[in-house]
Structure 1
């Protein structure tokens, strides 16, 4: 069997996505759904990951989704058949999705939530909001990047004599998850401009520290060069680029769901914990926050709510409270679009084990009582820009539900 695989492999050249105007087109790349025996799935995935660049792959239960280069299609088909696995084409040509995004027909001259914007535009929006609302909003620097950018966020803290509990929000840690910075800026806009008394009270209840993109180098690269880019942009001695910034935090580093291979396209955990300046500098910012009661991370696109710890099925001391708060949050969100999220539960229970993530580090190091990761909606990291407001409204209500239930349980 192995010999037959090797023969096929010799006939297959490593495929590189066609480049159009400096941007990888992913012409004729296919999204495959592979289903069958778990052992066969592991064997197939292990072989492909070791020998080829897989821009995207995700295994959930007895199913696997992967983005397959056209030259690799015969190999994947033959290996799947030999292993008793079934394959189904979900997307025939991923470049068509990219064309839709790049066309950006609803983009306005200013900043809107009908299009996706690059880092400088996002930062411009944050600066504009701080100028428009000088009494309650100010731009803050959460860290630095490998390419010399600042990690900018917005602190929203309406004037009061009381010391407020701090709520920290981060998104965009994985570069290709474009819906998360868009949704986060939408939420910022709601906090600062909504006339709804409940949202105004939500704004006034916390000292907010909100960072729409904590991996700006990677996001910019995804926006301008490679849509499926996930990592940072640091360069390793292997002449490969980037580490997964959500596998690089100093909590059970490299124990589960991470790779030690610098050329791994998705989950390379870095040369050591906090090897990436982005995670190292952001962790210092977080460490300096007193009275941190809540930490929220936004990802895409598994449509679920995750609790710490991501690499364990053992529960934290206040797990029942987190589950109750999280469920109320999801209930509030459900009222917007009738969309059901999985969870709340740990990633190890409903997704996969993953170590070295930001939420787990914050929970463990800072003992932050309220720690959540929201996996937003979408498919293969695509969400129609004309519908950004749907998830923005959901997230706004989710945050309202989280805060409401947390207050009832006495967390602030």
Structure 2
């Protein structure tokens, strides 16, 4: 269906390369355009462009008055620019050669864990195992397995009884490498940092991490297709390119599932939310793990994503309905933004996701708030605001970690002041 056709064409024109036994799609001279849609007429034409010219949409299409990023192969760039000029749609090229940017974001294979480069799943998991072996205050487990049988690992940090907990999850979307990099950075700071504030937070609260919710998709982005978003379960549908794979797992939670969202009902699109909620073994495992703790123990649930520099609060399914303690959550999110900006000037916008970003149903933060009654939940959309987007160079990982850690310190302090941990 609509966007898998796009992926199929991109795959046909992309160049295959051998890389340590893997075959990876390349994007030499592919451009990333930022397209500015000013009104509904332009929006309707923009939605239809893939019927004329092969493009890869990188963002959900929400409405006019927004910008959207698309990837276009070299042979179609002149045509797309002419079409935009004809439609009087303003655009700019934000990436001239996507492959060069991807090379800047290259990962290190078989190396020790650090936060100067991106790492493959085995390196991340080996580091987690090493930390668990070294520290008796860590309780590590496999909470379930992915469709392809890979472990979904958890780490619980608890230094004393009676603490309330913060829950952090990462990389539910495969292509968002900065997510798991940041989540593991925070975990490392809580375990190993000499920073007195981080050690205070590690003593005063319990911390629960699931750094890699989508291991199958993550491995696929390393070995085959860097632009992949979903998990890797066959959806049961086909199109002209063959079988369709994957469910957007952040559209699959059973809270207002299927009510709103761009192409969540198109089985071959990037944002397909499944035929019904809770179809994905990864999501079921995550929900069972969260539900295994006593009610009232987890007081904050934070999901890390890319990109846009947002603190997105409930709800996602509506832009007119807000949680009862929305004003309280806004004050907590403001504390994060005020502190995160200090190290490098990165400005985070905060508010309900349905209001700030786009209306979409079935997200983790809404399930955690609406079903599990966790009083502060959010999605943290990390760097940047669209220069590199999903392809943030690895030399920014540590900076992202630093600014998010500063924001997190202030967020927890404010949440404590607001009574979230009572």
- Normalized against structure 1, the TM-score is what? 0.90
1:86-122, Cα deviation, whole Å (9 max, x unpaired): 2322212211112222375xx8831111111111111
Report the counterpart of residue 268 of structure 2 in structure 1: 263
Aligned residue pairs, count: 393
Report the counterpart of residue 88 of structure 1 in structure 2: 92
Report the counterpart of residue 387 of structure 1 in structure 2: 396
Give the whole-Å Cα distance in 1 for the aligned partners of 2:10 and 2:375: 46
How much does 1:300 deviate?
0.8
How much does 1:43 deviate?
1.8
Which structure 1 residue ranges, 5 or more long, are not aligned? 1-12
Is 2:77 the partner of 1:76? no
Question: Retained in 1: the 8 A contact 2:343–2:402?
Answer: yes
Query: Could you tell me which of 128, 131, 134 is aligned with 2:130?
Result: 128
Question: Retained in 2: the 8 A contact 1:301–1:380?
Answer: yes
CA RMSD of aligned residues (A): 2.0
Query: Could you tell me which of 400, 404, 409 is aligned with 2:413?
Result: 404
Report the counterpart of residue 4 of structure 1 in structure 2: none
- Could you list the structure 1 runs, at least 4 aligned residues long, displaced by more than 6 angstroms after superposition: none
Paired residues for 1:6-405 under 5 Å: 14-16=9-11, 17-21=14-18, 22-48=23-49, 52=54, 54=56, 56-59=58-61, 61-102=65-106, 104=108, 109-133=111-135, 135-158=136-159, 160=160, 162-237=161-236, 238=238, 239-258=243-262, 259-264=264-269, 266-290=270-294, 291-313=297-319, 314-343=321-350, 345-378=351-384, 379-405=388-414
3-state secondary structure, aligned to 1:57: coil
Distance 1:49 1:358, change over 3 A: farther
How much does 1:193 deviate?
1.2
Distance 1:365 1:404, change over 3 A: same
- Normalized against structure 2, the TM-score is what? 0.88
Report the counterpart of residue 6 of structure 1 in structure 2: none
How much does 1:53 deviate?
5.9
Give the whole-Å Cα distance in 2 for the aligned partners of 1:103 and 1:396: 23
How much does 1:156 deviate?
0.5
3-state secondary structure, aligned to 2:200: helix
Question: Retained in 1: the 8 A contact 2:155–2:209?
Answer: yes
Give the whole-Å Cα distance in 2 for the aligned partners of 1:148 and 1:182: 22
How much does 1:49 deviate?
5.2
Question: Retained in 2: the 8 A contact 1:362–1:368?
Answer: yes
Give the whole-Å Cα distance in 1 for the aligned partners of 2:303 and 2:37: 32
Distance 1:172 1:50, change over 3 A: farther
3-state secondary structure, aligned to 2:252: coil
Distance 1:50 1:137, change over 3 A: farther
3-state secondary structure, aligned to 1:298: strand
Which structure 2 residue ranges, 5 or more long, are not aligned? 1-7
Give the whole-Å Cα distance in 2 for the aligned partners of 1:253 and 1:76: 35
Q: Which moved more, 1:377-386 or 1:301-310?
A: 377-386
